[in-house]
């Protein structure tokens, strides 16, 4: 996606994320929206904020699922960037005749970062939450954006689902850490590895994690408690991409999700919710990965999607709780 260095944009294949090996996310812009604003917090207002999504990014996907399940997509507007990251990074998905995103006034995502900080250094990543009033980014930190969508706009929705229930805080935190270290983050450690020992360590972790999740979800409907939490959305975003992207492109060949019956039933249950199924575009996700990482796929060829082990047509008794 290229990188900003002291306010200057540098593109090119050698600047793409992962081209020099794995790197941690750079989440430097952090402000908070609060139901009862303080001197440091921003007010929760309908129509004021704008979520910038990337159809291929799993972290962005998690926030989009939460936004739709909370029925806040009429409260927080959204914009999408195109699946392919070119020499100018992420480009807004513009309509006919548009030269820039009409809300932000930018063609490329990095321009929104510069509007916030003209000397910004770092990746222009997604998700991003934009403030239309102050015309700057509120946050580019996934966890904070997810938390704001989950809890800051309760007065604007009658859906009572809480993806971070306080009574399960410890279990949820431990589960999120387990997923990040052994699956959702481990796939990137494999894909961007530059050392065989590092690759072997993480591909082994993935196989063990999938076996543990298959066992765990063979006996329960959700990862934590009795309802969908952030952990489920994180796991689902990874599982949906695994066989089509992480297995072939990132060489995570130690396991296949289609061979895991409990995980496939789990995917079916969640994908039966239209708020979830309509948030995912496999073709766009595959295009994003296969055509954005030239160091892994220099031809840019996108293969056909493999057969799925789930139907995405199963009946679900999972409902969105109303207050």
Is the torsion defined by CA of 57, 59, 63, 69 positive or negative? positive
Are 47 and 20 in contact by the 8 Å Cβ rule? The answer is no
Q: How far is Cα 206 from Cα 238, in angstroms, rounded to an integer?
A: 12
Q: How far is Cα 162 from Cα 240, in angstroms, rounded to an integer?
A: 23
Instruction: From residue 212, give the alpha-carbon distance in Å to each of 207, 217, 264.
Output: 9, 9, 14
Active site residues: 57, 188
List, in sequence order, every residue forming a beta bridge with 128; answer none if it has no partner.
Answer: 52
Residue 293, token pair as written in the block: 């990482």
Contacts of 314 (CB under 8 A, 6+ apart): 265, 268, 269, 271, 272
Q: Residue 232's closest CA among 220, 244, 241, 224? A: 224
List the end-to-end C-alpha distance of the chain, in Å, as a whole number.
42
Are 260 and 217 in contact by the 8 Å Cβ rule? The answer is no
Is the torsion defined by CA of 273, 274, 276, 282 positive or negative? positive
Separation of CA 301 from chain center = 23
Are 22 and 188 in contact by the 8 Å Cβ rule? The answer is yes
Q: Residue 65's closest CA among 236, 284, 203, 204? A: 236
- Return the residue matching tokens 């999972």: 318
């Amino acid at each position: 996606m290229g990188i900003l260095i002291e306010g200057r944009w540098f593109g090119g294949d050698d600047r793409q994320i992962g081209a020099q090996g794995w790197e941690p996310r750079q989440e430097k812009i952090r402000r908070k929206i609060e139901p009862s604003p303080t001197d440091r917090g921003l007010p929760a207002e309908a129509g004021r904020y704008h979520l910038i999504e990337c159809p291929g990014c799993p972290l962005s996907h998690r926030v989009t699922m939460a936004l739709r399940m909370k029925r806040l997509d009429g409260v927080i507007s959204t914009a999408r960037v195109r699946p392919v990251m070119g020499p100018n990074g992420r480009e807004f998905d513009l309509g006919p005749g548009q030269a820039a995103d009409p809300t932000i006034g930018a063609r490329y995502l990095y321009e929104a970062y510069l509007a916030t900080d003209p000397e910004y250094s770092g990746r222009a990543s997604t998700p991003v939450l934009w403030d239309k009033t102050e015309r700057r980014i509120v946050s580019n930190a996934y966890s904070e954006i997810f938390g704001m969508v989950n809890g800051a706009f309760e007065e604007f929705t009658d859906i009572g689902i809480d993806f971070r229930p306080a009574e399960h805080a410890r279990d949820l935190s431990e589960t999120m850490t387990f997923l990040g270290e052994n699956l959702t983050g481990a796939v990137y450690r494999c894909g961007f590895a530059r050392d065989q020992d590092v690759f072997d360590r993480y591909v082994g972790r993935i196989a063990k994690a999938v076996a543990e999740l298959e066992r765990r979800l063979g006996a329960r409907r959700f990862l934590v408690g009795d309802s969908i939490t952030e952990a489920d959305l994180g796991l689902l975003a990874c599982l949906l991409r695994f066989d089509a992207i992480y297995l072939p492109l990132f060489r995570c060949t130690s396991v296949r999700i289609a061979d895991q019956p409990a995980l496939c039933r789990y995917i079916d249950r969640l994908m039966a919710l239209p708020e979830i199924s309509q948030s995912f575009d496999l073709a766009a996700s595959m295009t994003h990965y296969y055509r954005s990482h030239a160091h892994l796929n220099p031809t840019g060829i996108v293969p056909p999607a493999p057969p799925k082990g789930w139907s995405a047509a199963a009946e679900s008794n999972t409902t969105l709780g109303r207050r």
